[in-house]
Structure 1
């Protein structure tokens, strides 16, 4: 049966990608413009990280978030804004003493990781549901820290997007829901292909989808070359989709994506070819329960 499918665009992320594709936005003005163009192309949701304009690295600077959100809202009051809380979770053991943080560590307190959520009150914010090896670093999200972050998010009346990279993350999220630490509506993002989480395969997506709590809405994405196949797979399995330069720098083999909008346009064609309309921001709000 045909249904409106929501497209989320993850605009920039926090990885070391700026040098690999010049289309990756860095400044608040660039991030906002890229988000607005993605919305015009069909994205009902824009997922936002901010970067230090001088270093291009991930940032927790409240002023950068405030400026970026303000620029988006000045031009588009309808698009659903989803701010990350993932920045501040990386740990790299020191070479001489693994108890001490080494270069690349970005650990921050739950309070600092959610400060912009408390102040700016976006529609949605991501909440990464567990600890895992991610590339050569540890992505650290302990149950205690997640409970603290969830409390701030609930008090701000923001819907958490529960990002799950492996099956254990779904189990932790379900336990927190049962304990009342995560309040409705329940929204999941199934993240596939990230080293060393679940692979970007049909079997992995179906397995994690069937673990989700009854009534939860869900999105899924695959990174890199898996982005567009996972768009189709998520739609077929009943979910919504995410694309964007955070997850994938290419439009095709050897062809750098010129913009986030170009990635959204490709996703629109895939969704419509399968037989579904693209959800508007108003429809996305209704489907998710914002």
Structure 2
């Protein structure tokens, strides 16, 4: 495959995520105030897009509470700092089975299964420019957690996202998810331009080796826009790999809490490093306005 590095690139910062990272770093934002400030910090450092989850302010656990999202979004919009908002719609597809000998009923402590409308309630209320669509089902971790997104659920969510005029960021964790994304597009449920996030190195999805990345990018339609990332220590090297493959960059504390060995990062630190990598490779980092034009996004405030 010929080298086709991105000359104009945008950076997404995933500022907090839903994982148990708050116990390992005090820099991971938890409250709506902290999450909004992290998104503003990332934008000032060079991120055009802020990818946002919310957490219960008391426990730090993931949440899909509309009012928490509202507080975050309103604070970012009132900050005067321009950034494209990308709200997760992944919450509500969490299935934790019981033990291997008694998988049913599901474990109520971790299971959160909701209908398509409920999973998109915050998107409908707040109308971000982008929301995510996790395009498939897969095992996560070493326990009994299954990220659950059936074809019927994906069809319903994709149709609702299109109806709202929001651009879906299609989250691809494995090769079969890319097949599902093409299937949704063929049915007219995803509008052009299609935006894809290749989520690499997450057990038990596509590994983050170079061969797997190139296999994924080789099967992307030429007119689709993609970003790619890996987790942990490979997050920052993947910024360079994504650019070399013709894609865009995602960094942030959702996926990696370290700037280098022994040094905890902030979201701003990770974005600044991604900017340095991009510029060192001869790329120009795009502004939020340029990303809106490229992806045909409508600014709602």
Same fold, judged at TM 0.5 (above): yes
Q: Distance in 2 between matches of 1:271 and 1:108?
A: 39
Among 44, 61, 66, the residue aligned to 2:70: 66
1:199 aligns with 2:207: yes
* Partner of residue 105, structure 2: 100
Paired with 2:181 and 2:6, the residues of 1 have a C-alpha distance of 29
Shift of 1:2: 6.6
> Match of 1:232?
240
4+ runs deviating over 6 angstroms = none
Once the 2 structures are TM-superposed, how far is the Cα of residue 77 of structure 1 from its aligned partner? 5.6
| Equivalent residues of 1:36, 1:76 under 8 A apart | no
Where 2:284 maps in the other structure, the secondary structure is coil
CA contact (8 A) 2:12 2:251 kept: yes
Note closer, same or farther for the CA distance 1:2–1:105 as it changes in structure 2 (3 Å cut).
Answer: closer
Gaps of 5+ in 2: none
Q: Secondary structure of 1:200's partner?
A: coil
1:177-233 per-residue CA deviation (whole Å, 9 max, x = no partner) reads 011122222000000011111111211111111111230000000000110111000
Q: Secondary structure at the match of 1:242?
A: strand
Q: How does 1:143-222 map to 2 (within 5 A)?
A: 143-222=151-230
Q: Hey, what does 1:23 align to over in structure 2?
A: 27
Q: CA RMSD in A?
A: 1.2
Q: Tell me, yes or no, if the aligned pair for 2:15 and 2:254 is still in contact at 8 Å.
A: yes
Question: Any idea what SS the aligned residue of 1:23 has?
Answer: coil
SS in 1 for 2:12: strand
Displacement after TM superposition at 1:99 (Å): 2.7
Corresponding residue pairs, total: 289
Measured in 1, the distance between the counterparts of 2:160 and 2:38 equals 29
2:282 counterpart residue number: 275
Q: Is the 2:6–2:247 Cα contact (8 Å) retained in structure 1?
A: no
Structure 1 residues 218 and 2: alpha-carbon distance in aligned structure 2, compared to 1, 3 A threshold:
closer
- Describe the shift of the 1:99–1:119 C-alpha distance in structure 2 as closer, same or farther (beyond 3 A): same
Q: After superposition, where does 1:62-141 map in structure 2 within 5 Å?
A: 62-76=66-80, 78-95=82-99, 97-102=102-107, 103-135=109-141, 136=143, 137-141=145-149
Note if contact 1:60-1:112 (Cα within 8 Å) is conserved in structure 2. no
Q: Contact 2:13 / 2:49 at 8 angstroms: preserved in 1?
A: yes
Please give the alpha-carbon distance, in whole angstroms, between the structure 2 residues aligned to 1:183 and 1:66: 26
CA distance in 2, matches of 1:242, 1:15: 17
Equivalents in 1 of 2:121, 2:72: separation in Å?
15
Q: 1:212 to 1:2 in 2, by over 3 A?
A: closer
Moved more, 91-100 or 207-216: 91-100
Q: Which residue of 1, 23, 37 corresponds with 1:33?
A: 37
**Does the CA-based 8 Å contact 1:187-1:218 persist in structure 2?**
yes
> Which moves more between the two structures, 135-144 or 124-133?
135-144
What TM-score do the two structures reach when normalised by structure 1?
0.97
Question: Please, what TM-score do these two structures have when normalized by structure 2?
Answer: 0.93
Q: Residue 85 of structure 1 aligns to a residue in which SS?
A: coil
Q: Is 71-80 or 235-244 further displaced after alignment? A: 71-80
